Amino acid sequence: MSGLGAAAQRAAVRLLAVICASATRHLLQQLLPDTAGLRCLHWGCGSGEETFLLSSLLTEESSWWAIDEDPVLIEAALQQEARHSGASVHFAQSFLSDWRPERPYDIIFSGPRALPLPQLRVGLADLQRLLKKGGALIVAAFPFSGWRAYPYNYAFASAVDLIGRLEESRSSEVQQLPELLKRNGFTAIETLYAPPAFIPRTGNRIASLFLESCREEFLQRQWSNREELNALLEELREFEQREDTLVSRPGVHLMLARKT
């Protein structure tokens, strides 16, 4: 991935966490009415925005670890940690396969990043290893094709279609998640859903960030050329900055599965 693509991906991850955090927290409150004394891991924590919000659900007796493979995002999370003096979160840069805690976790949470299933497939054996028996894996996900903008804009719709096509080509559909978990030894799957909602204007640039971060893959697959993508990005960014632009996020699916 190019430097611009990597920077766009990091910015998209941070923005996505902020956009979805309140919906995710609301659903977690319903799934986890009792959080006393829990050991929790946030896998793919990004720069920590979502982690701090979710950690506020836990009691003082609980503990929360957060890991991400991207050292730049973890550095940003550690900088934020200094501004959250009341939060008890332990951040570390690590691949899931390399993470070796002293004891297994009661809960592992993976937030609603774009295109989550390929990473989840690879990590399921490690997730089983890191969870205690009866522990819960909680995955938040959504279909990128569910993003909407008002008024209608060709560039926005084209960007969502392109990213949705990439999502489909990677077998990343949210609907596949329950069956994937069952095939890998998880049971008692519960699903909650937060419906689509408009996002603050500060989040409007989410589509252009994801389009920029996926640009090289679109070119490699020959779904577009560089000139077309540049023109699409220019029109999309102009639309995102308009005062009358409204963007709606997709519905968020939160799935809880138990380790047998």
CA angle at 130 for the pair 129 and 131, rounded to the nearest 5°: 95
Domain 3-259 has CATH 3.40.50.620: no
Rounded average pLDDT over 217-228: 92
Does residue 240 surpass a pLDDT of 90? yes
For residue 117, is pLDDT > 70?
A: no
Q: How far from the centroid of its chain's Cα atoms is residue 252's Cα?
A: 10
| DSSP E strands, 19-175 | 39-43, 63-68, 89-93, 105-110, 131-141, 148-150
Mean pLDDT (whole number) for 90-109: 94
Q: Give the mean model confidence (pLDDT) for residues 88-98.
A: 91
CA atoms of 209 and 19, how far apart (whole Å): 14
CB atoms closer than 10 angstroms to residue 34: 7
Cα Rg of the chain, angstroms: 18
- Name the pLDDT band for 115 (thresholds 50, 70, 90): very low
pLDDT score, position 83: 72
Residue of 3 and 246 predicted with greater confidence = 246
The domain ranges of the chain are 3-259
Residue 100 CB contacts under 8 Å (≥ 6 apart), including other chains: none
Residue 231 has pLDDT above 90, yes or no: yes
**What Cα–Cα distance (Å) separates residue 37 from each residue in 61, 64, 106?**
5, 10, 9
pLDDT in tens, 161-214: 998 888 777 655 577 788 888 888 898 888 899 999 999 999 999 999 999 998
DSSP code of residue 141: E
CA–CA distance, 15 with 206 (Å, rounded to integer): 7
Q: Give the other-Cβ count within 10 Å of 246's Cβ.
A: 13
What is the tens place of the pLDDT at every residue in 30-64?
Answer: 887 677 788 999 998 888 888 888 887 777 778 88
